[in-house]
Structure 1
Amino acid sequence: MITPVNNKLNFSLLTIALELMEQGKIKWLIDIGFNEEQLIKLKSIPYLQLLELSNTSVNFLSFKLNVPVFDLLLKTSSDNTRKTEMCDRAIMLGASNEILFKYFGLSTTEISTKRFLLNVHVTRGRSKKPNFEESEAIWKKWVELVKDNPLLNEVDDFNRLDAFMIVTESISLFFSPNNQEVDSEQEYLSLTSIIKEIEKHLLLKK
């Protein structure tokens, strides 16, 4: 059965074939089934005949999805998107250059560019350290997350980074006035400070 989709695929194949022939790249066309005589005829046909070929009632194009490859590409694309979103989130939460290099392999130039695009300004000097109350709240939140995923204490991967960011977001919101969103101008506990605090607790547990 010929459908509008078949017609579009037919037309796409024929126009690609013409473009490749113009560039002198005919090997792929030979590999998919064209012969030299057909390519010579195709190169010389007028546009109206090209449309007629595309809209023919006979389907000359076989199209099949390579499911394993497509599934792999989908997963890779999803992983890359998640990684980019996590990186942007980490930068927004005040991740240091060292953290961004450790988890994402970013150079200082790439980090500077990303911060500029995200409108994130880094203040010089030491970042704010948690007080006693904040330190207790940080560890309490971390323990809650570890109950759901015990490997957080053992494996240093993106799941652990995500947990670090959850703690940072939770603590920043909890200790902001009236539990409102943190003002961009007010001093807050950065992701870097939170990570150092949690890692300090983890070292004490060993």
Structure 2
Amino acid sequence: MNVSFIILNQTMLIQVLHELRHGNLQSCQTLGLSEHDIDQLQSLSPGTLARLEHASAPWVQINATAFRRILAQSEHDEQHDLLINRALRLGASSRIMYKCFGLVHSETAMRRRVLNILARKGRPQHLSEEQEHALWQRWRQIRTKASCTDPAEQLEEMMILAEEQQISLTLVWRQIEQHKGQR
């Protein structure tokens, strides 16, 4: 008898019985059971349920299409979280986090706490003339979408600048917005 089949069958049966006990018939259907299957499960004796649980073959199947879709979405979500964390570590302001990721101030603050990023206090920093000049020279070199004026779409390039110039992402963002306003 294959132990992994038993574990799989047990897990599925426990979940189905839990959903039935709470009246979540639609959840059972989502798991792949028909209305007839659900009716039958509800009328089974404990002995029959135990046999079903210890069946030597799995009666649960994986929906490969759904699995791949969920896996792809999970990978996308992880990349998105890494991008958010990178932006926060580079000193992105709450305003940037809202514009680029839709995060409200409280969510941004909570993420900063989790990442142990201390909030800066006092007046905002300003760049020296040399820093501004170096920033603009490098900005012209790395800009991939010359026609794009939406800072949210240019975030990756701004983060590269912040890393290379060792300045806050907020300062880079502010400089680019000021430059747009001067045009």
Indicate whether the TM-score tops 0.5. Answer: yes
Partner residue, 2:43: 40
- Deviant stretches of 4+, over 6 Å: none
**Which of these residues, 102, 106, 116, is aligned with residue 105 of structure 1?**
102
Question: Per the alignment, in what secondary structure is the counterpart of residue 136 of structure 2?
Answer: helix
Partner residue, 1:83: 80
CA distance in 1, matches of 2:108, 2:38: 52
In 2, are the aligned partners of 1:152 and 1:159 still within 8 Å (CA)? no
CA distance in 2, matches of 1:138, 1:160: 14
> How large is the RMSD of aligned CA atoms in angstroms?
3.1
Structure 1, unmatched stretches of 5+, are 173-188
Question: Per the alignment, in what secondary structure is the counterpart of residue 151 of structure 1?
Answer: coil
Instruction: State the one-letter code of the partner of 2:9.
Output: N
Percent of residue pairs bearing the same amino acid type? 21
Partner residue, 2:162: 168
The answer to whether the aligner puts 1:54 opposite 2:32 as a matched pair is no
Partner residue, 2:117: 119
TM-score by length of 2: 0.75
Relative distance call for 1:157 and 1:11 in structure 2 (3 A) is farther
Shift of 1:94: 1.8
Instruction: Count the aligned residue pairs.
Output: 178
In 2, are the aligned partners of 1:101 and 1:107 still within 8 Å (CA)? yes
In 1, are the aligned partners of 2:84 and 2:101 still within 8 Å (CA)? yes
Shift of 1:80: 2.3
In 1, are the aligned partners of 2:96 and 2:170 still within 8 Å (CA)? yes
In 2, are the aligned partners of 1:96 and 1:192 still within 8 Å (CA)? yes
The answer to whether the aligner puts 1:193 opposite 2:175 as a matched pair is no
CA distance in 2, matches of 1:31, 1:113: 43
Shift of 1:87: 2.0
Structure 2, unmatched stretches of 5+, are none
CA distance in 1, matches of 2:151, 2:100: 8
CA distance in 2, matches of 1:22, 1:87: 40
Report which of the two structures shows the higher radius of gyration computed on alpha carbons. Answer: 1
In 1, are the aligned partners of 2:158 and 2:173 still within 8 Å (CA)? yes
